[in-house]
Structure 1
Amino acid sequence: MPLNTPRGYTYPEYPDTQNFPAVMQDLAQDIDTDVQARYNEIADSVEYPSVLIHKTVAQSIPSNTNTLLTFGTEVYDNDNMANLGVSNTQITIQTAGVYIVSGSVTLNGNGNATPAAAALIAGIPVGVSHNLDNDKSTCLSFTTLHSVTAPPQAITLTVRHNSPAAVNAAVAQLSATRIS
C-alpha cells in the first residue's frame, strides 16, 4: 500500500510489488502537480493589491512639530490606494488582508550637532528614530507587517525632529503590498 510524503508525493512501502516505471511516473506527476500549484500561487500574487508613492521635492520640517510628508509621484497602484490629486499625504488600503508596509525619508543635515528625528506611520503602531548627522543626510526607514480587517484604512508618514532649526525632507517613499 503506497504512502505519501507531507507534500503529497507517493512512494511504495517495502513489501509492495515493485514496478519502477509506474512508481517513477507517479512521482513525476506528483512533482508536476506540486510545481504547478506553486506556480499558480506566484502568478496570483502578481495581482495582489500594491502601491508605491514617493517624493523628490524637498519639504521643510519645522522643529518639534509632527509633519505629514507630502508625496508627488504615484509609481504604481493596482487597487486605487493612492489619489495624490485628492490627498498627497496618504495611501488608503482598500482590500482586507495582511500587508507589508514600508517607508523611508531622507533628512538633510542642517549644521546642528546630533539632534534626533523620528518617522511614524499613522494607523500602524510603528516608527523609527535616529540621531541626525549635522553635515550629512540621514535616512530613516522601516518595514512592518500590518493586518487590515476593516478597509478602507488610511496610512500616512509623519516626521518629527528636535533640531533647533528646520530640516528638509529631501526624498521619501511609502508603499503597501498585500501578501495574504
Structure 2
Amino acid sequence: MTMNTPNRNYPYPEYGEAANGFPAQDQALATAIDTDLQNNLAAPIADALDEPSARASRPAGAQVVATGVNGTLSYTVENYDNDAIVNLAGSATNFTIQTPGVYLLTGSVNAQPDGSATGAAALIMQSSLGTVPNPVGSSRNLDNDKDTSISCTTLHQAVAGEVLTLFVRHNHGANLNFSIAQFTVTRIS
C-alpha cells in the first residue's frame, strides 16, 4: 500500500510492503518531488518577475530646496514601469499605486556641498494617506566638500490610488541643491 508524507504529500511504500514495486514507487516519488518544485519554487519565481514595479530618476540637474521647507523630489526619466505607476507627463513627482499589496520602497538623493558643513538633511517617504511607516526616512549631517548621499528603504502596505512621493528637508543656513534623485516601488506580495 502506498502512503503519503504529511507535509508535502510525497508517495512512499508502507514499511512492511514487499519490495516488488520499487521502480514504480521510485518514479512516483521522483515525479511528486519534481512537480512540487515546479509548482512551489520555479513558478512563483517566474511570476515574481512580473510583479508591479516602477523606477523614476533625475540623473542630471539639481533641484533647489529652501531651508526649513519640504521639497518634493521630481524626476525626469522613467527607467521602467510595468503597471502605469509613473506618469511623468502628468506629474514629475507622484507614484500612483494601481495594484494593492506590500511594496518595497527605496529612494535616494544627493545634497550638493556649498563649502559649509552646517546642518543636516533628511529624505522622507510620504503617502497620500500619511507618512509611510517603518521607518519614514533617513537623515545625515551635511558635508562641506563632497555630496551628502541620503537613502532609505522600507516595506509599505499600499492601496490602489495611493500616491507615494519622496521629499527632502534641511536646516542648512542657505538653499541647497539636490541631485541624482531616484525612487523605486516594487510589489513583493
* TM-score greater than 0.5 by the shorter chain: yes
Q: Secondary structure at the match of 1:22?
A: helix
- 1:13 offset after TM fit, Å? 4.2
Structure 2 gap segments, 5+ residues each: none
Aligned partners of 1:110 and 1:165 also within 8 Å = no
Q: How far did residue 114 of structure 1 move?
A: 4.2
1:47 Cα deviation from its structure 2 partner: 1.7
How far residue 5 of structure 1 moved from its aligned partner, in angstroms, is: 5.4
Q: Which residue matches 1:140?
A: 150
Tell me the CA shift for residue 165 of structure 1. 1.6
Match of 2:22 in 1: 20
Q: CA deviation at 1:59?
A: 0.9
Tell me which residue corresponds to 2:161. Answer: 152
Q: Does 1:74 align with 2:83?
A: no
Select 1:168's aligned residue among 166, 173, 177: 177
The yes-or-no answer on 1:113 pairing with 2:117 is: yes
Name the SS for the 1:94 alignment partner.
coil
Divergent runs of 4+, >2 A = 5-20
Find the residue that maps to 2:85 and give its secondary structure.
coil
Equivalent residue, structure 2, for 1:2: 3
Matches within 5 A, 1:124-135: 124-125=132-133, 126-135=136-145
Aligned length: 179
CA–CA distance in structure 1, aligned partners of residues 151 and 53 of structure 2:
19
Distance 1:13 1:117 in 2: 67
Farther-moved stretch of structure 1 (154-163 vs 120-129): 120-129
2:33 maps to 31
Segment of structure 1 superposing worse, 157-166 or 124-133:
124-133
Q: CA-atom RMSD, angstroms? A: 1.6
Give the unaligned 5+ runs of structure 1.
Answer: none
TM-score normalised by L of structure 1: 0.92
Answer yes or no: is the 8 Å Cα contact 2:55–2:184 preserved in 1. yes
Percent identical residues: 45
